[in-house]
Chain A
């Protein structure tokens, strides 16, 4: 599936993910160079989705590590199953086992709780797994340093067991929403790709791929209006995820075109802050909706099937 850049793009389209050529190139090169991919961009532009699609396209397991404040090695790598160990000791005792033998095997793999990173390294199966390290900007810098180590040699040493080497080098995808700057050392280990908001044409293709039942005209108006919203001065600009939510909502309401009233009622799908909703209302919805409509009539050319836009 990763034989050429075109193949990557094609496979992703089959999975309903519209990847532009730069992203496809990143995935292609990451595979052949065995390097992690570092995706940065605004929330809701489809960073996490890349890993999911990559997993289902390659047939590898998707292993997800969601980062959070205070994430430590025990919850990322492995932990001993203490309760099970204690129970085992009790059973050994009750069975009248020799003192020397009691507890001999409690530090074996049976008593190991595998956390995502260990799992990614140990996975069997024919295809390499996809390890998604999501929102790495939420973890702390100690964890970043630890990641650096793992991502450079893909092996883990457990003192009681020994060193475990990866059977397949996993495809690694890191994502960041940029709530803080990630240390350059980590980013420089990866292929860096910034994912921007999609162009109107691309977003249209995404909407059509994800919501096949949507009316063409409505989809076009939706994407036009989204562009207008993103150009505005909002605290949290709507991402592609919001476009899709909104599209779903409009389909559910049985709409085949936009009008100011319906936009007003469904603003909650697009903006998640009261201030933003307020600002959108103040910004003359009528004019914006009219603009989006007339654009969609003028720009029929934009409705290009993404499948044929390779090259």
Chain B
């Protein structure tokens, strides 16, 4: 038993390391792994690896992270526990991340604004600036760091209100088709067991799902951040939400947000997503989006919300093809465009012109007011 002690310690250390890397390992998983180790021949590295993997990760998407961590921990000469940051303070954890080449650029909301200030000046299509400095009317792009914080607080307050509105509409509007025998039987005891009254089950036809597809290229990233926060906050009413972001490549961040929570998740997104705040290739991203989420379209009534300004560097016919497929599969397709908020804006840029015929709703998304408007559009879609 005593000679197993070091292995047990190492397993514990390894699990802790995984947790620090962002994999949600539970104590039960860890215990189960320890029990597995007793059952296998740990001399066989492959079996040990398999046992660790099947016990400690629950998503194929975590595998790359797991592999790197596993290799680093088990396959090379034993690391100094001090270096692992196990008895631990934050800085030492960072040295570990360095080792695995994690980028250290933590981009926060304020930095996004600053970056925006640099890039926006060159473009003609500047966004309208409302005369009154009312926060709900003010464009996100114009927010100072302080106002940004305030806006997020407003969203946090707004969301539960709008969410209950959505879910209430749903409850009263559905009528059941199948008989609920259990309830009917109960109710009819009063009539001596004669089935006089039939209680019906409310049956959902298909579950609603929202897929958010967010442009996080240079011109768009903070608009997208607000939208993600907004929709994500409404999850309890929206049942299923998945989020993908793109600039030149598509990245599904649903799992990340779920694991890390909104706040931490969003600040980490910028590191995970390649080419954050870079250029835009909408067409390719939509095609990738169709591929990634395509299978779930049939199982859900899917509302796709796409937020982008339509500046596209990619090929127009790829965009058209992608939009066509998306339109066919989605229940409703909503395009949010922050530029719609600017006075005299005409959808003339090529990306928008190509995509517009396939869009059910074309709405602004540049301030808090427009987010409320989005809820108004969503409510009837939800209720039918």
Indicate if the CB atoms of A33 and B193 lie closer than 8 Å.
no
A276-303 interface bits toward B, Cβ cutoff 8 Å, 1 = contact, 0 = none: 0000000000000000000000000000
- The minimal Cβ–Cβ distance linking A5 to chain B, given in whole angstroms, is 7
Question: Chain A residues with Cβ under 8 A from B254's Cβ?
Answer: 181
Most chain-B Cβ atoms within 10 A of its Cβ — which of A82, A85, A188? Answer: A188
Interface stretch, picked from A20-28, A58-66, A262-270, is A20-28
Q: Does B204 have its Cβ within 8 Å of any Cβ on chain A?
A: yes
Q: Given A141, A192, A235, which contacts B291 in the complex, CB threshold below 8 Å?
A: A235
Indicate if the CB atoms of A33 and B32 lie closer than 8 Å.
yes
Interface residues of B in 32-58 (CB under 8 A from A): 32, 35-36, 39-40, 46-47, 50-51, 53-55, 57-58
CA distance A252 to B286 in the complex (A): 41
Indicate if the CB atoms of B185 and A178 lie closer than 8 Å.
no
Q: How large is the interface on A (under 10, 10 to 19, 20 to 34, 35 or more residues)?
A: 35 or more
Most chain-A Cβ atoms within 10 A of its Cβ — which of B51, B209, B242? Answer: B51
Q: Given B60, B195, B300, which contacts A40 in the complex, CB threshold below 8 Å?
A: B60
A132-148 interface bits toward B, Cβ cutoff 8 Å, 1 = contact, 0 = none: 00000110110000000
Q: Given A21, A193, A233, which contacts B47 in the complex, CB threshold below 8 Å?
A: A21
Indicate if the CB atoms of A69 and B58 lie closer than 8 Å.
no
CA distance A177 to B206 in the complex (A): 18
Q: Does A86 have its Cβ within 8 Å of any Cβ on chain B?
A: yes
Indicate if the CB atoms of B185 and A194 lie closer than 8 Å.
no
Indicate if the CB atoms of B299 and A26 lie closer than 8 Å.
no
- The minimal Cβ–Cβ distance linking B188 to chain A, given in whole angstroms, is 10
B180-222 interface bits toward A, Cβ cutoff 8 Å, 1 = contact, 0 = none: 0110010000000101000000011011010000000000000
Q: Does A80 have its Cβ within 8 Å of any Cβ on chain B?
A: yes
Q: Given A69, A79, A188, which contacts B299 in the complex, CB threshold below 8 Å?
A: A69
Binding site for A on B (CB under 8 A): 24, 26, 28-29, 32, 35-36, 39-40, 46-47, 50-51, 53-55, 57-60, 63, 181-182, 185, 193, 195, 203-204, 206-207, 209, 239-240, 242, 254-255, 258-259, 290-291, 294-296, 298-300
Binding site for B on A (CB under 8 A): 5, 21-22, 25-26, 28-29, 32-33, 35, 38, 40, 43, 69-70, 74, 79-80, 82, 85-86, 89, 103, 137-138, 140-141, 177-181, 184, 187-194, 233, 235-236
